[in-house]
């Protein structure tokens, strides 16, 4: 099913992600076509009036003060694409490239970029054709837009660069020939319109946010299962106490855990512990048989995951606002009949949002890491065997080795969470003198997300091993469904095996749609 862009209708990040994942076609309605044509007509009028406009009859970047006659417009625009297509490294996958292309189409369809309707139609046709431009992943400043990634796409549109078609890497011109699309012929401003925007970081960001939402949704259920697996107490999740601290995310997490664990007999009633300890009270101080409170990694789950919930909502709002923006320079507004030289291409909003996403995900990972340690340490697991190894301990090592992997990924991910959005360096003869690195931030957030999914996968594996040891009959209905989904992939481990394939499959399912849970 195709996705049709309409004026005045907000495009959701989920629309971009689902369209890209399904390789679904995109279309524009008549109102969009009229608006795009009006913007182009307004610019053509300004050109006829001999107004001096950046990227139209001037050069660009560090050559901003050079004037370029209109008859040389096509050469100028093609030179721009070739000059800035300097990204290096591995090529982005097909889904990411489609998400970037759709994000650019969304922005151009707002009708303020003065691209011709013919070339917008060709960009849409290329998106829908199965041609995937080869986009190297590293090298974008994320400030005059994602120039490098978007130029790699635009070069294919004019019959240059490289593209994949049916798994084969081809010259751009040959890829277009095979799908029956004539290359674009660029006029004034059109190369700039194709690349001078934040659509690279927005496209990748939309995929990150969708995957992060799926992971977080399942992780709330994993958290409930870990409360059961570690024989945690439920009263700290009582919604009555969370009314006393009015953070929305915290209250949502607490309510979820309270409701989910209502029918569990593996989770512990605090009053039962209180009665037990009261009976142990004597005339002298002594250690009780149990603790009245759990460690923070259980008890403080709402206070730790609540900020993650709230942060993700804010991040999604920010990136979705950017998606639904005109984010190139200059902008030609047909309603105002005016050209605006501006800085809408600057990616600071998205750069900071992706840095915040990495920090939020690392917070979630820190929680998973601490719970894993409690599962494997017999001194902190409320009665579980060391390393969850019930059968033949000592001869077997149980799940000991899994913590090596999670500790390594946790350390690596913490290092990746250092904000890139504050690492500005000047370039272009000090013209681009403060930059966002938004595409780098989005790419790193994707790496963080993958790492975190593997750590959560191992916590989930531990949780299922623990509840098998304690007795699965005490699971709540919701956690039982999760447990059964895991057991479709991972058996109860009563002998030592290599668990890499199990962990990787669980991580894949945690990020997939519909995924676990």
For residue 483, give the nearest of 508, 496, 465 by alpha carbon: 465
* Nearest alpha-carbon partner for 461 in 414, 382, 398: 398
Which residues carry out catalysis?
Answer: 54
Token digits of residue 202: 């927005």
CA–CA separation, 325 and 391 (whole Å): 59
Phi, psi of 143 (to 5 degrees): -130, -55
DSSP lists the bridge partners of residue 398 as none
Alpha helices, H only, 180-233: 190-195, 199-229
- The CA–CA distances, whole Å, from 205 to 3, 356, 446, 475, 484 equal 19, 12, 8, 36, 32
Cα separation, 466 vs 375, whole angstroms: 8
Considering only CA atoms, which of 264, 263, 269 is closest in space to residue 236?
Answer: 269
Place of tokens 């195709």: 2
**CA atoms of 413 and 296, how far apart (whole Å):** 21
**Non-local CB neighbours of 420 within 8 Å, separated by 6+ positions:** 351, 355, 437, 440, 441, 444
Write down the H helix ranges in 243-300: 248-260, 270-280, 296-299
Listed in sequence order, the residues at least 6 apart from 406 whose beta carbon sits closer than 8 Å to its beta carbon are 368, 369, 372, 454, 455, 458, 459
CA gap 516, 457 in Å, rounded: 11
User: In 3D, which of 124, 138, 45 has the Cα closest to residue 86?
Assistant: 138
Q: What is the DSSP letter of 5?
A: E
Bridge partner list, 268? 233
Nearest to 164 by CA among 155, 174, 154, 149: 174
Helix then strand count (H, E) for the chain reads 19, 9
């Amino acid at each position: 099913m195709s996705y049709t862009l309409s004026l005045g209708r907000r495009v959701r990040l989920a629309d971009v992600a689902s369209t890209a994942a399904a390789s679904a076609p995109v279309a524009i309605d008549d109102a969009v076509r009229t608006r795009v044509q009006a913007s182009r007509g307004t610019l053509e009028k300004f050109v006829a009036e001999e107004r001096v406009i950046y990227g139209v009859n001037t050069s660009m970047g560090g050559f901003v003060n050079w004037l370029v006659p209109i008859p040389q417009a096509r050469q100028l625009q093609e030179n721009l694409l070739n000059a800035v297509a300097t990204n290096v490294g591995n090529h982005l996958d097909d889904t990411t490239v489609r998400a970037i292309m759709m994000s650019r189409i969304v922005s151009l369809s707002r009708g303020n970029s003065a691209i011709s309707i013919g070339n917008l139609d060709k960009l849409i046709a290329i998106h829908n054709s199965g041609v995937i431009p080869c986009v190297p992943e590293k090298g974008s400043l994320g400030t005059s837009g994602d120039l490098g990634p978007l130029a790699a796409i635009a070069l294919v549109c004019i019959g240059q660069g490289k593209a994949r078609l049916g798994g084969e890497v081809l010259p751009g011109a040959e890829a277009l020939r095979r799908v029956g699309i004539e290359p674009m012929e660029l006029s004034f401003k059109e190369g700039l319109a194709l690349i001078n925007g934040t659509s690279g970081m927005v496209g990748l960001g939309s995929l990150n946010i969708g995957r992060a939402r799926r992971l977080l949704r399942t992780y709330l259920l994993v958290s409930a299962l870990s409360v059961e697996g570690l024989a945690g107490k439920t009263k700290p999740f009582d919604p009555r106490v969370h009314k006393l601290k009015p953070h929305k995310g915290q209250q949502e997490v607490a309510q979820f855990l309270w409701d989910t664990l209502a029918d569990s007999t593996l989770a512990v009633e605090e009053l039962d512990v209180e009665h037990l300890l009261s009976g142990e009270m004597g005339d002298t101080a002594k250690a009780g048989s149990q603790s009245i409170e759990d460690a923070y990694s259980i008890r403080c789950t709402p206070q730790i995951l609540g900020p993650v919930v709230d942060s993700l909502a804010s991040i999604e709002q920010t990136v979705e606002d950017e998606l639904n923006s005109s984010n190139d320079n200059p902008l030609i507004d047909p309603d105002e009949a005016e050209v605006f030289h501006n800085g809408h291409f600057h990616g600071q909003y998205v750069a900071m949002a992706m840095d915040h996403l990495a920090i939020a995900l690392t917070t979630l990972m820190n929680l998973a890491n601490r719970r894993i340690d409690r599962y494997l340490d017999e001194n902190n697991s409320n009665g579980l065997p060391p390393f969850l190894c019930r059968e033949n301990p000592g001869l077997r090592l149980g799940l000991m080795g899994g913590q090596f992997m999670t500790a390594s990924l946790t350390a690596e991910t913490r290092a990746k969470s250092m904000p890139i959005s504050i690492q500005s360096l000047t370039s272009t003869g000090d013209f681009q003198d403060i930059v966002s690195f938004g595409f780098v931030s989005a790419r790193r957030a994707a790496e963080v997300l993958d790492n975190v999914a593997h750590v959560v996968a191992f916590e989930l594996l531990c949780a299922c091993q623990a509840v098998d040891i304690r007795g699965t009959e005490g699971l709540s209905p919701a956690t039982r469904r999760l447990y059964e989904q895991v057991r479709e992939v991972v058996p109860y481990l009563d002998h030592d095996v290599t668990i890499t394939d199990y962990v990787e499959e669980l991580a894949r399912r945690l990020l997939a749609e519909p995924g676990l849970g």
